[in-house]
Structures are given as C-alpha cells and as structure tokens.
C-alpha cells in the first residue's frame, strides 16, 4: 500500500467524524456531538502521532531535510491541538456559537494542511520511501 493512500484514507475518516459532530451540535445534541468529536479528536491525534513518530522521522532520515515540510506540518499539528481543546470546551459548555466559530477555523486549517500533505508531502514520501512503504504503513497501523 502506498503511504499516500493510507494517510489520505485516515484524513477522510477524521473528516467524517467531524462532520457528524458538527451535525449533532447543529441539532443541539451535545451528548452525541461529544461522542463524534471524541472519536475525531482521538483519531486526529493518533494520525499526528503516526506522522510525528514514524513517517516524518524516516522521511527526514532519508532526505536529510529536517527544516522543510515536516517542520511546517508539525507546527500546524500543534495549532490543531490547541483548537481541539477549544472545541472540547465549547461542547462541554454546550456553546453552539463558540463551537462553530472554532470549527470554522479548524476546518480551514485542516483542509489546507491536508491538501499540502496529500498533494506534496505524501507524494514525496511515496517516492523516497517506496522500498519501506509497506513496513512503514504496518508500523503506523500498529501504533
């Protein structure tokens, strides 16, 4: 399996959970919203861990590039982590307006972030890590 396909599929899975959380908040069902949001948050953070602990270090090792795209992606991961806490707080307080304000911000950030990963970084990983792709995907699945 190509790295890009595996990682892109994870992006889509996270997007679906987030859309369900937004729909539940829109319907005023904060209990259901929390369940979907919690899945989104856990899956997103696990995805970041797979990148930061497995994929990015191997990419940096093979390319010798530690100041390029992986550094930018990690910076954006940290921005998302902060926004996740704000979203959780908005759900906990059943604050629909605050939730959608932060949701708009996180969705714009994630859409841009995912696009950069999917169109550039993952394609580079597929090229430079091709001989190790299956091994890396298995390690990420196991994390």
pLDDT at 1 over 90: no
Q: DSSP 3-state assignment of 82?
A: helix
Residue whose entry in the numeric block shows the structure tokens 């797979």: 50
d(CA 36, CA 21): 5
pLDDT the model gives residue 138: 97
Distances (CA, A) of 137 to 78, 104, 126: 23, 31, 11
Cβ atoms 42, 120 nearer than 8 A: no
pLDDT at res. 112:
97
Q: Whole domain around residue 80: which residue ranges? A: 3-142
Distance between CA atoms of residues 73 and 77, nearest Å: 6
Number of residues assigned to the chain: 143
CATH number at residue 63: 1.20.120.520
Kindly report the pTM of this predicted structure: 0.95
For residue 12, the model assigns a pLDDT of 97
CB 56 within 8 A of CB 70: yes
In this prediction, residues 48-77 reach a mean pLDDT of 97
* Number of domains into which the chain is organized: 1
pLDDT of residue 82: 97
Q: Residue 99's pLDDT is what? A: 98
């Amino acid at each position: 399996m190509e790295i890009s396909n595996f990682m892109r599929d994870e992006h889509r899975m996270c997007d679906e959970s987030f859309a369900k959380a937004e729909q539940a908040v829109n319907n005023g069902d904060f209990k259901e919203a929390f369940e979907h949001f919690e899945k989104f948050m856990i899956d997103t953070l696990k995805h970041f861990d797979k990148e930061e602990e497995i994929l990015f270090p191997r990419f940096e090792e093979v390319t010798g590039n530690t100041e390029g795209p992986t550094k930018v992606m990690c910076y954006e991961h940290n921005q998302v982590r902060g926004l996740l806490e704000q979203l959780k707080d908005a759900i906990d307080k059943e604050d629909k307006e605050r939730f959608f304000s932060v949701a708009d911000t996180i969705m714009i950030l994630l859409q841009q972030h995912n696009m950069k990963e999917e169109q550039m970084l993952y394609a580079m990983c597929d090229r430079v890590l091709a001989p190790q792709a299956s091994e890396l995907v298995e390690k990420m699945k196991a994390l």
